[in-house]
Amino acid sequence: MIEDQLGRCVASWYKGATGVTGAAKLSGGASQETWTFDIVHPGGNFGAILRRAPPGYGASPSPSRAAGLDAEAVLMQLAYDAGLPSPRVMHVLTPEERLGRGFIMARVEGETLARKILRDEEFAQARPLLARQLGRIAAGIHSLPRARLPNLRSMTATREIADLDREYRGADWPRPVFELALRWLADHDPGPSRQVTLVHGDFRNGNLIIGPDGVRAVLDWELAHFGDPMEDLGWICVNSWRFGEIDKPAGGFGSREDLFAGYEEAGGKVDADRVMFWEVMGTLRWGIMCGRMMQRFRNAPDHPMEQAVIGRRTSETEIDLLRLLAPRG
C-alpha cells in the first residue's frame, strides 16, 4: 500500500522515476515514522527516506516544543546547503499525495546505533576524531543565518527551569534528587545568553549517522529552537548519551576539551560554565522524560515494554545528577 502511494508521489516530481521498491519502516522515533525505500529509475535506483507523522497523528507528544516537520525540512536543507552533514531534502509532502505530513530526503548510508559506533572495529579510526568534529558541526549549526530560518520557539534558561519544574510537579511523583537539581538550577541560572542562535535541541549520539570517515549526517531536528548555543554542547555531554563510555563526556567519543576546541576552530566561543549548567539541565530533563515513560507504562492497558525500559532509566539520571552536583573527592 505505502509503496503504491510513494510510487505515485515520487513519479510526480522525480523525473523518469517509475516507482519505488523495498519500502520498510525503520525502528526508533517516538513521535515520527521513518521509512526507507529505493526510487526506481532507468539510470539506477536511488536511496531515499520518508519522515512523516504517523497516520491519524494530529500533533507530536510535546507540541509546545516541536518545531514541526515543515520546519525540520527547511532546517535540514539549510544545513545541507551550508556544507554541514545533513541529508538533502528532496520533497515536502502535499495533502494531495495522501501520505500525511512530512518530507522525503536522500538516504545517507552509515550507522546510527550508538553502541555499535562506540565499540565496533569499523569505526575505530573515526572515534578519536568525532568529539572535535562534532564541535565544528555544532558551531556551523549555530552560525546559520537567522534571516533564513523558519519561525521557531525561543527558549531561555529561566523558562526551561520553570517548564521542567511544572512538568515534574504535575507528575506527582516526588523524587528528592530532582528537587535538588531544580534548586541548583534556580540558584545557578545564568540569565539570558548574550548570543542567541539556532539550537538543534537534540544534538547527541543516537541522532547521528556515522561512517568510518566520521559524521555523515545530523538527524532529528524536531526540537530546534532559538536560544543559548551552549545548550547543544551541554546536551551532548549528558551521561545518558555516552552509552557506557562515561570517561568520554562528549557523546562517549572524547573529551569536553576536544569538543570545545572543535567548536572554537569553527568560529564559536565556548562558555564552559554555561555548558555545565545545560548539562545539569539536560540530565534533569531526560530524567523527567524517563519518569513520564514509566507512568505511561503503568497506565497504558497494554503496558508497552519499550516505555518500561526507558522508564527504569530515571534512577540512572538521579545518579548522574548527584555526580554532577555533589561529586566525591
pLDDT for the residue 60: 42
pLDDT of residue 62: 47
* Contact yes or no for 75/142 (Cβ under 8 A): no
CATH of the domain at 258: 3.90.1200.10
Question: Domain ends where: 106, 131, 147?
Answer: 106
C-beta of residue 260 within 8 angstroms of C-beta of residue 273: no
Mark which of 78, 106, 134 sits at the end of a domain.
106
Handedness of CA 205, 151, 31, 90 (dihedral sign): negative
Asked if residue 290 and residue 179 are part of one domain, the reply reads yes
Q: Specify the CATH number for the domain of residue 62.
A: 3.30.200
The whole-model pTM stands at: 0.92
Same domain for 290 and 185: yes
* Nearest to 199, CA basis, from 153, 160, 239: 153
Same structural domain, 102 and 212: no
- Regions of the chain where pLDDT drops below 50: 58-62
Q: 92 and 127 share a domain? A: no
Q: Cell 564552559, residue? A: 272
Give the residue among 244, 270, 266, 267 at the shortest CA–CA distance from 256: 270
Do 159 and 264 lie in a common domain?
yes
What pLDDT, on the 0 to 100 scale, is given for residue 56? 59
In sequence order, what are the residues at sequence separation of 6 or more whose Cβ sits closer than 8 angstroms to the Cβ of residue 63? none
How many domains is the chain partitioned into structurally? 2
Last residue of a domain, one of 106, 138, 156: 106
User: Does residue 140 sit in the same domain as residue 204?
Assistant: yes
Are 171 and 306 found together in one domain? yes
Q: Which residues contact 129 (CB under 8 A, 6 or more apart)?
A: 214
Question: E-strand spans in the chain?
Answer: 19-25, 33-40, 46-52, 89-92, 102-106, 197-199, 208-211, 214-218, 225-227
DSSP bridge partners of 103: 51, 92
Q: Based on the domain organization, do 226 and 257 belong to the same domain?
A: yes
Q: How many CB atoms within 10 Å of residue 219? A: 24
Give residue 34's domain range. Answer: 2-106
Judgement on whether residues 151 and 48 belong to the same structural domain of the protein: no
Instruction: Locate 77 and state its grid cell.
Output: 536543507
pLDDT tens across 72-93, in order? 999 999 999 999 999 999 999 9
Of 127, 193, 203, which is closest to residue 160 (Cα–Cα)? 193
* Furthest CA-CA distance within the chain: 66
Q: Domain check: are 188 and 97 in the same one?
A: no
Do 142 and 55 lie in one domain? The reply is no
Sequence-distant contacts of 85-91: CB under 8 A, at least 24 apart: 85/137, 85/209, 85/215, 85/216, 85/217, 85/218, 86/217, 86/218, 87/49, 87/217, 87/219, 90/13, 90/14, 90/48, 91/9, 91/10, 91/13, 91/14
Cell of 11: 513519479
8 A C-beta contact, residue 274 and residue 237: no
217 and 313 in a single domain? The answer is yes
* 244-281: b (≥16 Cβ within 10 Å) or e: ebeebbbbbbbebebbbbbbeebebebbeebbbbbbbb
